[in-house]
Amino acid sequence: TRPIHVIGGGLAGCEAAWQIAEAGIAVVLHEMRPEVETPAHKSDGLAELVCSNSFRSDDSTSNAVGVLHAEMRAAGSLIMWAADRHQLPAGSALAVDRDGFSEAVTQAIADHPLIRIERGEISTLPNPDQPTIVATGPLTSGALATAIREATGEDQLAFFDAIAPIIHRDSINMDIAWMQSRYDKPGPGGDTAAYLNCPMDRAQYEAFIEALLQAETADFREWEKDTAYFEGCLPIEVMAARGAETLRWGPMKPVGLTNRHRPEEKPWAVVQLRQDNKQGTLFNMVGFQTKMKYGEQTRILRMIPALENAEFARLGGIHRNTFLRSPKILDETMRLKVQPHIRFAGQITGCEGYVESASIGLLAGRFAAAEALGDQPALPPDTTAHGALLAHITGRNLVDKENGDFQPMNVNFGLFPDIEAPTKDEDGRRMKGKERGVARKRTLAARALADFTAWLAANELRKAA
Ligand code: FAD
């Protein structure tokens, strides 16, 4: 078999290279550092953690990223092996010694007889006779980003996220909020109640604006300043600073909506949320991109009536991030539809975080290896953490795959298909809200691990002769 090329020696690229090599297939891993630097990496090591040293929760019984850890370990992940060897005390989280971690990955890759590391920037996409995985991450070099844009079309590669917070639907108080589209205008499917509306009276609006004006915001890093935000996606706190009425004329317009619970009261302002996934478990806050610090976001957004107990699947942010409109341009195993010899992996596909990027590298590596051995790659079930994340990337959860808004995401239980969870505890006592929530997460986690183990057993990679 021909060697498979992997571009980018980060979390995803190293994991992909490892999985391919472990299947007995030769790999050439291209890493541009130290010849060409990124604005965030500081070393020339592979799998460098550019910011925090945390892989987040290691609890595989009731936390989605913990489940992802467990699935990766079961699949022989190099990244998890190195993380476990260089773990630091951090309670139930998995924190690592970043230098030891990166050195262990670099050494394992360098020592693998089937992997060759080539240093230097790759600035063009490969010819069709060269199967390749592109895993160049959120800070993909400019030349390669241009080549990707040329191959995919101008609008298919984004350079930064302007993310509005996403909320778990079951944490929204529907005694206050109601479903209605503005002017009851039907959507493509004829639905006239596509939006979830949270009303505010004048005093609530004014208090909210005041809180926004006082909020602490995250700084733009020096190298992010040149991607000054577009007028079309200004952070809400910037809009508030432009005038007390700006939001009321923008994303918080109260027109065309009638409060279903109190039809006689005309709302002074309305916050709208839109369904974010097919299952209807997640809703995003329309036009609410923000640069407020995370603690400030949860505190201030919970001032919105109906969101007082909101649980956030992801908070808002605006930062430099190169990512593809994957649902539109990638196939279900993350190959570029127009050039299927190229597969993408890692954060550039629209996942978020170290662990998620590595897990998508793991899948891309296994898919590429299966293909090289003449097998049809098998997709992990949607009920697993890997499958749920892959479904997000390839748009299987999107209401509109072609035109729908696509934003990178961490793994979270909102991406998993729903499940019937127990309503009574072991003593037969009926469980209440929070307890039931935990029971549901436990049931989802157990199903994911069982289904992933079965998938692995059924799809053991054949080894190349
Ligand atoms: P990377 O790990 O970035 O790896 C990509 C590799 O490709 C790099 O080594 C790069 O040098 C190389 N490369 C790029 N272009 C080329 C080219 N043309 N030719 C050859 N090589 C190339 N996630 C978290 O979980 N926690 C955090 O605290 C966190 N903080 C972050 C802070 C910043 C500033 C950024 C930008 C991201 C942060 N992330 C964080 C997200 C995190 O970077 C990614 O989740 C993760 O590193 C992505 O893995 P990856 O393998 O896709 O990309």
Express each pLDDT in 99-130 by its tens digit: 999 999 999 999 999 999 999 999 999 999 99
With cut-offs at 50, 70 and 90, classify the pLDDT of residue 4: very high
Question: For residues 25 and 379, what is the distance between their CA atoms, to the nearest angstrom?
Answer: 20
The atom number, within ligand 1, closest to the CA of 48 reads: 2
The atom number, within ligand 1, closest to the CA of 410 reads: 25
The answer to which of 11-15, 38-42, 444-448 has the lowest mean pLDDT is 38-42
Mutate to test the pocket of ligand 1, among 19, 136, 294 (most ligand atoms within 8 A of CB): 136
**CA 256 to centroid of ligand 1, rounded, Å:** 44
Express each pLDDT in 413-464 by its tens digit: 999 999 998 899 989 999 988 899 999 999 999 999 999 999 999 998 888 8
**So what's the pLDDT on residue 129?**
94
**CA 129 to centroid of ligand 1, rounded, Å:** 27
The answer to which of 70-74, 215-219, 350-354 has the lowest mean pLDDT is 215-219
Express each pLDDT in 303-324 by its tens digit: 999 999 999 999 998 878 899 9
Question: For residues 390 and 415, what is the distance between their CA atoms, to the nearest angstrom?
Answer: 10
Average pLDDT taken over every residue of the chain:
92
Query: Which residue's alpha carbon is nearest to atom 25 within ligand 1?
Result: 353
Beta carbons of 174 and 298 less than 8 angstroms apart: no
With cut-offs at 50, 70 and 90, classify the pLDDT of residue 224: low
Q: Is the backbone of residue 76 left (phi > 0), alpha (psi -120 to 50) or beta? A: left
Print burial letters for 326-364: b (CB count within 10 Å at least 16), e (below 16).
Answer: bbbbbeebbbbeeeebbbbbbbbbbbbbbbbbbbbbbbb
Mutate to test the pocket of ligand 1, among 6, 357, 362, 363 (most ligand atoms within 8 A of CB): 357
Beta carbons of 12 and 99 less than 8 angstroms apart: no
Query: Which residue's alpha carbon is nearest to atom 47 within ligand 1?
Result: 354
- For residue 225, is pLDDT > 70? no
Query: Cβ < 6 Å from ligand 1: which residues?
Result: 7-13, 30-33, 38, 40-41, 50-52, 121-122, 135-141, 144, 346-348, 353-354, 357
Within a 13 Å sphere around the CA of 438, how many CA atoms are in the beta-carbon half?
7
Beta carbons of 115 and 109 less than 8 angstroms apart: yes
Nearest to 362 by CA among 69, 165, 43, 112: 69
The residue among 25 and 234 whose pLDDT is bigger is 25
Q: How far is the CA of 44 from the CAs of 119, 230, 388, in angstroms? A: 10, 34, 33
Question: For residues 235 and 242, what is the distance between their CA atoms, to the nearest angstrom?
Answer: 11
Matching residue, tokens 């505190």 = 299
Q: How far is the CA of 109 from the CAs of 3, 24, 29, 89, in angstroms? A: 15, 14, 9, 26
The answer to which of 357-366, 377-386, 431-440 has the lowest mean pLDDT is 431-440
- Paired sense of beta strands 87-88 and 54-57, if any: unpaired
Report the percent of the chain where pLDDT is more than 70. 97
Q: Is the ipTM of this complex over 0.90?
A: yes
- For residue 38, is pLDDT > 60? yes
Helix, strand, coil percentages (3-state) for the chain, rounded to 5, are 35, 20, 45
Q: What is the secondary structure of 350-411 as a DSSP string?
A: TB-SHHHHHHHHHHHHHHHHHHHTTPPPPPPPTTSHHHHHHHHHHTTT-S-TTTS----B--
**So what's the pLDDT on residue 230?**
54
The answer to which of 85-94, 151-160, 228-237 has the lowest mean pLDDT is 228-237
**Distinct helix (H) and strand (E) counts, the chain:** 13, 17
- For residue 275, is pLDDT > 90? no
- For residue 227, is pLDDT > 70? no
Nearest to 419 by CA among 383, 379, 380, 381: 383
The atom number, within ligand 1, closest to the CA of 221 reads: 34
